[in-house]
Structure 1
Amino acid sequence: MRKSFSPLTQQIQRWLLGYRIKTGFSIEKVYITGGTAGINNIENFLSEKIEAPVEHLKINSLETQN
């Protein structure tokens, strides 16, 4: 899993660093969605790698207005 997700975790780490530098604030939690979010233990893996809490945000349905 580490090798497969290395580009993703590096990209998230860079984004978090850029956000912290630009705003002076740290992200409190990262939410993941979609198919990848359903991978076993992905929340713990990502949380360990990016050093921030990660939670699977389950979206049952989306409503749109036209």
Structure 2
Amino acid sequence: MIDPSEIQAVARQDQVGAAMRVWAETVAAARDQLLKAGFTREESVAIATQWVSLVIAHNLGAGRVA
């Protein structure tokens, strides 16, 4: 018999993986916009990563992200 906690652990891993994919896609989109605006690749990656991380942290603090 499968332990229910194992099912929950797998489901949680799937959620984390999905969240990481969304984070990476959002960073890539922001990076692309910054590149179009004339920032270097290094600047664009740094700014996009920090911006997306701050937005997520803000939303977590506001209870908007489960």
TM-score w.r.t. the length of structure 1 is: 0.36
TM-score w.r.t. the length of structure 2 is: 0.36
Bigger RCO of structures 1 and 2 (CA < 8 A, at least 6 apart): 1
More helix by share: 2
More strand by share: 1
